Structure formats: C-alpha cells, structure tokens
Amino acid sequence: MKIKEIVIFLLITVSFYARSQENKSTKKLVEPTIGYQYNDKVIKELNKFYSLYFSAMENVDNTSENDLDLIKRKYMTSKLYEKLKKIDMDYDPVINAQDVDSNWQKSININHVKDDLFKMCIKNSYDKSLNCTYLKVEENFKIYDIQVNNIASILNYINEDETYIDTQNNIIDKDSVNSKIIAGNYQYGKCSESKPSFYFVDDEGQFNFYTPKISGYLFL
C-alpha cells in the first residue's frame, strides 16, 4: 500500500512540475510577442504622425500652421505641446531641421530603441545624410518627450533668456553652467551693455556679471 501511495505521489509531483515548466515556457513566448505587437502599433502611429506633419509643412498656404498645431495636439501630450510653443530654437526639434525635404515622406524610418524610446530618421535628398530624432511615447501612443542632438529632454530645455527664482541650496543647471543660489533671483541670458550675463539679487542688493557664457562651477 505504501509503494502505491509513493508512486501516486511521484506521478502527481512530475505532473505539476511538467505543467509549471510548460507555463513558464508559454509565458516567455507570450510576453515578447505582446511587446513586439505594442511596439509595432507605436511605430505605425508615429509613421502616421510624421506623414501628416510633413504633408502640413509642405503645404505653403495659410492653413499650414493651423494643421501643424492640430497634428501636435492629437499626437502629443498637452505638456509637450505647450512646451514646444514656448521654446525658442533655430530649428524644429520634431524633425531636427528648419525646412522640410520633399523626399522625407518616402524615407521615414522608425525603430524601437528601448522601453518607451523610439528613433525616427529621415534621409536628405541632397547629400543622403540622415536627420534623426528620438521620441518618448506613452502607453496611449502619445509622444511625451523628445531627444534631439545634444538636448536630452525637450521638456527640460531652457531658453537662453529665461529667468528663474529659486530658494536656498537649490541647484540650477543651464548647459554647462552650474550655480548654487543662496537666496533671491537668478538669471542666465545673453550679455549686452544693458543686460548682464548673470545677476544675483537679495535683500542687500544686486551683483551682476557682464561676461560671455562660463563653463564650470560658480558658487556664492
């Protein structure tokens, strides 16, 4: 009787082990498949976005700007959309260029890099070089941030003439300039005869720097 019980126990144990291994194997197959399917959907949405974006840019009539605005609203988060309206750059970070190339519609190439990061490249017709932009996409397929050239985050991009108010011991980083503010106002901007590159203001007065952009650390 004991032998029979041992045999039954062993059979049950082997059966459970086999099922657990099968479940693990199935899970390994299903998870990557789901990931690939999701990434494919994101790539399709990004292709639609850029196709519409380039079409609107090629349209030189009065509706072009309005069309671009509507496209951004549809495919971007409100936070990124508002940020793009405020930043002052000499090129469009969405396409990493100033003007549209008629060949771009045919050369859109989008790939998944990792996690929520995707890479979009377009080929310039005049020299066959590539313009690339990195896009961060939410689960609802909306673009929530952009990486382009040496800018790691458009959301965190700071215009040259922006003014900041910070409290004690906070650190503000603008390009390679790092300043630790004791108290008061801080401004980083373009130097001119009437406007300093840096100034610090507290209850006792104001201290100005009339100098080109400084690389390194500056402490008060």
- From the list 72, 116, 108, 123, the residue with the least C-alpha distance to 93 is 72
Cα–Cα distances in angstroms (integers) from residue 165 to residues 172, 181, 184, in the given order: 10, 9, 7
Stated as kind and residue range, the H or E segment containing 165 is strand 163-165
Q: Is 149 left (phi over 0), alpha (psi -120 to 50) or beta?
A: left
pLDDT of residue 19: 61
Chain centroid, CA 164 distance in Å: 23
Residue 50 backbone phi and psi in degrees, to 5:
-70, -35
Dihedral of the alpha carbons of 32, 38, 43, 45, in degrees to the nearest 10? 180
Whether 164 and 187 have beta carbons less than 8 Å apart is answered as yes
Residue 30 structure tokens: 């299903």
User: Could you list the pLDDT tens digit for every one of the 220 residues in the chain?
Assistant: 556 665 565 556 656 555 655 555 444 434 455 677 899 999 999 999 999 999 988 886 766 788 999 999 999 999 999 999 998 888 999 999 888 888 888 899 999 999 999 999 999 888 888 889 999 999 899 999 999 998 999 999 887 655 443 333 344 444 433 333 333 444 444 444 444 455 555 555 555 555 554 444 444 4
For the chain, give the number of residues: 220
Rg (CA), the chain: 27
**40-75 residues labelled b (16+ CB within 10 A) or e (exposed):** eebbebbeebbebbbebbeeeeeeeeebbeebbeeb
Residue 188 structure tokens: 């980083």
- The boundaries of every CATH 3.10.450.50 domain in the chain are 38-147
CATH of domain 38-147: 3.10.450.50
Q: Which residues face 120 on adjacent strands?
A: 110, 133
pLDDT of residue 5: 61
Stated as kind and residue range, the H or E segment containing 137 is strand 130-137
